[in-house]
């Protein structure tokens, strides 16, 4: 939030109300460029709602969101995606009857130009674009570690872990500047979680990506995040580095309940 830091994304006072329910309340936060930032909080704290606001699936009731200098408040999801915000979903959302490769090709939709008539006539330009997109999709799948023999497999037939991989490849295929991962380690064993942690660091270091992570696995969160924001009942209750957040009494209280936290503290 401080002016001297180069932020890829900033939100100011973002609030989302569903009828009388305030799911996200006055949240201001920022993601410094090329950093990994996490949002944690108990179930129902508004983390995913906040994600959906950032990616344009929900329009915030009030507040402002700036991405890479552009105001994206209330923008359309596909436009926000085209600007460079890609995401994965908490419950994997594959295009089930498409192959892994095709899934990743869809991820490049915003980077392609072919229109209706170009596609029908299949002009040399369209043909070339199609080939490049296909090659890039294969490249991305290999990058996330999906074995070549699964590339043409229907997404619905892939194992859970492979579906997660394809989803990340699909998001990466659009060359995003910011990657939003919604509980990527859900359903993973510790070994796989470790791999993912390293993978996120590789993405940041090799590709210069900024990553925003929603995660319940504290080992992953504490291991990878430079900055952690804690939401509870839609409000930001704490913010800071891993150590800072871990020892914050509000955070302990949100997770364990007031009485328990006093017992721990006392």
Question: For other proteins, which stretch binds (CB under 8 A), given 58-66, 71-79, 195-203, 219-227?
Answer: 71-79
* Residue 98 interacting with other proteins (CB under 8 A): yes
Q: How many residues does the chain have?
A: 266
d(CA 103, CA 173): 10
Backbone angles phi, psi at 16, to 5 degrees: -130, 125
Question: For other proteins, which stretch binds (CB under 8 A), given 59-67, 97-105, 188-196, 199-207?
Answer: 97-105
* Residue 148 interacting with other proteins (CB under 8 A): no
Cβ atoms 231, 28 nearer than 8 A = no
Cβ atoms 4, 174 nearer than 8 A = no
Residue ranges in 149-168 that form contacts with other proteins under rule CB under 8 A:
149-150, 152-154, 156-157
* Residue 54 interacting with other proteins (CB under 8 A): no
Conformational region of residue 128, where left means phi above 0, alpha means psi within -120 to 50, and beta covers everything else: alpha
CB of 82: closest distance to other proteins in angstroms? Answer: 6
* Residue 237 interacting with other proteins (CB under 8 A): no
Q: Give the burial string for 207-234 (b: 16+ CB within 10 Å, else e).
A: eebbbbbbbebeebbbbbbebbbbbbeb
* Residue 181 interacting with other proteins (CB under 8 A): no
* Residue 115 interacting with other proteins (CB under 8 A): yes
Question: What is the contact surface with other proteins in residues (CB under 8 A)?
Answer: 55-57, 76-79, 81-82, 86-87, 89, 93-99, 102, 105-112, 114-116, 119-122, 126, 129-130, 133, 149-150, 152-154, 156-157, 170-171, 174
């Amino acid at each position: 939030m401080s002016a001297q830091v180069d932020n890829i994304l900033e939100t100011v006072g973002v609030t989302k109300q569903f009828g009388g329910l305030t799911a996200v309340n006055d949240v201001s936060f920022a993601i410094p460029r090329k950093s990994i930032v996490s949002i944690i909080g108990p179930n129902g704290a508004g983390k995913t709602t906040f994600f959906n606001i950032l990616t344009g699936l929900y329009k915030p009731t009030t507040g402002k969101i700036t991405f890479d200098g552009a105001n994206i408040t209330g923008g359309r999801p596909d436009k926000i995606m085209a600007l460079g915000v890609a995401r994965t979903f908490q419950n994997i959302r594959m295009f089930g009857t498409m192959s892994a490769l095709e899934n990743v090709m869809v991820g490049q939709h915003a980077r392609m130009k072919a229109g209706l008539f170009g596609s029908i006539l299949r002009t040399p330009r369209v043909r070339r674009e199609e080939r490049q997109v296909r090659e890039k999709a294969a490249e991305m799948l290999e990058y996330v570690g999906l074995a070549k023999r699964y590339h043409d497999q229907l997404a619905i037939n892939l194992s859970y872990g492979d579906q997660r991989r394809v989803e990340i490849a699909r998001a990466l295929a659009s060359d995003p500047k910011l990657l939003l991962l919604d509980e990527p380690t859900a359903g993973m064993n510790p070994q796989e979680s470790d791999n993912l942690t390293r993978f996120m660091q590789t993405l940041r270091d090799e590709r210069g990506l900024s990553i925003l992570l929603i995660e319940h696995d504290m080992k992953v969160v504490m291991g990878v995040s430079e900055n952690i924001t804690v939401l509870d009942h839609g409000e930001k209750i704490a913010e800071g580095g891993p150590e800072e957040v871990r020892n914050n009494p509000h955070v302990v209280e949100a997770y364990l309940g007031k009485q328990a936290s006093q017992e721990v503290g006392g």
